[in-house]
Structure 1
Amino acid sequence: MSPLVAASILLSITLLVSGLAKAGGREARERTQDAMRSLRLPARSLHPLAAAAVPIAEIAAALALWIPWVPLQIVLSAAILALMLAYLVIIARALTFPEAVTCSCFGTLGSPTVSRTTLLRNILLTVLGVIGLAAAARGDLAAAVTAHTGAWILWVLALVAATVLTALALGGTRAEAAPADERTAGAAAGSVRTHEADGIADATDDDELEYEREEIPFGMLVERVDGEERYVSVRETLSRAAQLMVWVTPGCGPCERTVDQMRGWSERLAPHVQLRAMLRQPFDTFSEEFLERTGEHASVDVEMNIATSLRSAGAPAAMLLGADGLTAGGPVFGGPAVAEFVEQVIAQIEEAELPEDGRETAKTGEPGENEGVAETSGL
């Protein structure tokens, strides 16, 4: 049997692993969509469809490649080579972005960050695609299945064993940590609880637990007003309204999904709470399109001093700061947890239904008729 067949076997194993890793249900599809956003792929309206179709196509190609019919094998080998070339171009383009990009090319497996190693991997896969197409055109694949069945099976077993041993030896490259939404679900659920002493019902149905509010430490940020940048202290922002700070980074899929929701959240939170996108880098490192999506209160967390002091370093992450100078919820981490947290803050505001004369009190943090609601929700 021709050694060229080994290339097709390796590609089949790669596509099968990749397809199965992406086909893990709704969360897997969301990760794939996050990767597409991070990689800045066009036609965003088609991302959900692509996220569902790509794993099916990869698995189907990996299996159908071994149907012993030369014309079909040539067509499939050419399609696989085209796919590898497309992945190579996408990864090479991502390396030109100013920020690191996550791709989730193999679902939950492997490193999520695009690097030169990722590029090298895709170059090797493309070379395998070329060899695989040559093997199909020569009829080697069909012959391997029909005339050399025993040898073909041994090749498959040997290469699968090599793949498994390599994966075990590397031990994976993702940090061993619980998913962000699991690690922070409790914080998100408890972050907008009301004080029992105030006589106001808990905003959640969980057992009554009191969120321990702490004094907000000093911190500085940079904001833009009419195109001018200026330094502002956290406490100055709290004199305007309670602040819901959300740390995001472009190139991070969950962050991109969070940014897409910010304008809607901001409108629903106003005027009681200002939603403030917190950025890690100066404004001039971001595109105007990205800054437009983050909303009018986007700010730069200078050297991440605020995130560090509030123990909210991460992206996406969120924390609610009360206008009275005390923390009011969070921190929470991860796209789903941040979205749930924001919705809970909005729900508490809507449930409280502050009257018009109480809104100014909520914005300034001064005692008033609705002091209980303003204090416990950080408004």
Structure 2
Amino acid sequence: MHRIRLVPAADLLVLACLAAVLALSGASKLRAREETEDAFASLRVPAWMPRRLGAAALPWLEIALAAGLVASPSRILVVVAIAAAVLMATYTLLVARALTFDEPVTCACFGRLGGHRVDRLTLVRNVLLTGLGAWAVEVAAGGGSVPGAAGALDRPGWAAVGAAVVVALVAALVAAGGRPVEGAYGDAELDYQRTPIPFARLDFPDGTSQSLRDLASTGARLLVFLSSGCGSCIRVSEHVDDWSARLAPAVDLVTVYTSGTTEFLHHDPDLVALDPDATVRAVFNIPSAPAAVLLGADGLLAGGPLGGRNDITQLVEDVLAELESAPDAAT
């Protein structure tokens, strides 16, 4: 008798959980269209899937699948569950492939929610979601559905479902509480403390090498850290030439890559510097690109490090405003 009562509860939890993940993901992507497009680039989705069209359609597909998982009778649910399982498996394959790339990958898999760094934990999460999709297919194939499971639940069954929901919410709140804010490398509420430029070196495509301090000794330098495994970096790179022209001659802009890969460059290659061992990133505690640091000509940091396309753009605009208000002042 106990086993019979638990089957509807399990069916309901599996389908509702998968539907909730898809609905949350789809709704978040609707509010993060550009981030979703960037994810297509970061994960190197095959060219036959247009980035803009895919980013526009994917949120609605996820929301439709979520609704279908909750509302469909078992015969229709089989098709919906198979589609959801295939989608989850596709995500898992893309993430697994991304882990083989030379540079770290960032991906807004849940829009603006959650951490965006693709790592082994991301793969584990997606494998579990793929398993949940397969379980949903099994539930549907066995004649299960959300309406049917809800109608078959008795009081102990509802108690089991309620307890599982509470546990899931508590776990989600605990995990969210420990997540750092994306793009924040310091306390924005504190006054900026200028510190000496650290000892680190950059390599250049012509085979030369120069320390950060020597690089800034002849003038201020804005270091913009980019990566070929980051869709947001592509958007930043599209503005680099314009920023460089507007900042010159007071501030020279240098783009910093951890490898020689230039397939996503959208700027003058003469601006490129290399940080092959990620040493410069490490001394500035930069976890991922895009990011920026402003080196002052006086041997002190003048801005950053900070991360994210919006913050980098704001830094450039702030520097330009300073230059316009004091055109004869040394930076």
TM-score of Structure 1 vs Structure 2, range by shorter chain: 0.7 to 0.9
Q: Does 1:168 align with 2:149?
A: no
Q: Secondary structure at the match of 1:172?
A: helix
> 2: CA distance between counterparts of 1:72 and 1:149?
18
Equivalent in 318, 339, 358 of residue 292 of structure 2? 318
1:150-161 equivalent positions in 2, closer than 5 A: 150-151=152-153, 158-159=160-161, 161=163
Q: Secondary structure at the match of 2:70?
A: coil
For 1:140, the equivalent position in structure 2 comes to 144
1:286-297 equivalent positions in 2, closer than 5 A: 286-290=260-264, 295-297=269-271
For 1:149, the equivalent position in structure 2 comes to 151
- TM-score normalized by the length of structure 2: 0.75
Equivalent in 130, 140, 151 of residue 134 of structure 2? 130
For 1:243, the equivalent position in structure 2 comes to 221
For 1:221, the equivalent position in structure 2 comes to 202
Deviation at 1:337, TM superposition (A): 1.1
Distance change >3 Å, CA 161–CA 317, structure 1 → 2: same
Deviation at 1:222, TM superposition (A): 0.8
Moved more, 146-155 or 253-262: 146-155
Deviation at 1:217, TM superposition (A): 5.0
Q: Secondary structure at the match of 2:102?
A: coil
Q: 1:66 is matched by which residue type in structure 2?
A: V
Conserved? CA contact 1:181–1:335, under 8 Å: no
Deviations 1:181-211 (A, max 9, x none): 6956568xx8xxxxxxxxxxxxxxxxxxxx7
Q: 1:220 is matched by which residue type in structure 2?
A: R
For 1:206, the equivalent position in structure 2 comes to none
Q: Larger radius of gyration, structure 1 or 2?
A: 1
1:195-274 equivalent positions in 2, closer than 5 A: 216=197, 218-225=199-206, 229-238=207-216, 241-252=219-230, 254-274=232-252
For 1:362, the equivalent position in structure 2 comes to none
Deviation at 1:27, TM superposition (A): 6.2
Structure 2: segments with no counterpart, 5+ residues: none
Q: Secondary structure at the match of 1:84?
A: helix
Q: Secondary structure at the match of 2:106?
A: coil
Deviations 1:272-308 (A, max 9, x none): 42211223x3x3xx42314565842222347555556
1:1-379 equivalent positions in 2, closer than 5 A: 3=7, 6=10, 9-20=13-24, 23-24=27-28, 28-42=32-46, 47=51, 50-51=54-55, 53-107=57-111, 112-141=116-145, 145-146=147-148, 149-151=151-153, 158-159=160-161, 161-166=163-168, 168-169=170-171, 171-172=174-175, 175-180=178-183, 216=197, 218-225=199-206, 229-238=207-216, 241-252=219-230, 254-279=232-257, 281=258, 283=259, 286-290=260-264, 295-301=269-275, 306=280, 311=284, 313-315=286-288, 316-349=290-323, 370=328, 373=329, 375=330, 378=331
Conserved? CA contact 2:115–2:182, under 8 Å: no
> 1: CA distance between counterparts of 2:208 and 2:322?
32
Identity %: 36
Q: 2:222 is matched by which residue type in structure 1?
A: L
Distance change >3 Å, CA 79–CA 318, structure 1 → 2: same
Distance change >3 Å, CA 339–CA 153, structure 1 → 2: farther
Conserved? CA contact 1:103–1:114, under 8 Å: yes
Distance change >3 Å, CA 62–CA 326, structure 1 → 2: closer
Deviation at 1:151, TM superposition (A): 1.8
> 1: CA distance between counterparts of 2:58 and 2:106?
18
Deviation at 1:332, TM superposition (A): 2.8
Distance change >3 Å, CA 215–CA 172, structure 1 → 2: closer
Q: 1:140 is matched by which residue type in structure 2?
A: G
Deviation at 1:245, TM superposition (A): 0.9
Distance change >3 Å, CA 256–CA 159, structure 1 → 2: farther
Conserved? CA contact 2:16–2:70, under 8 Å: no
Structure 1: segments with no counterpart, 5+ residues: 191-210, 355-369
> 2: CA distance between counterparts of 1:261 and 1:4?
55
- TM-score normalized by the length of structure 1: 0.67
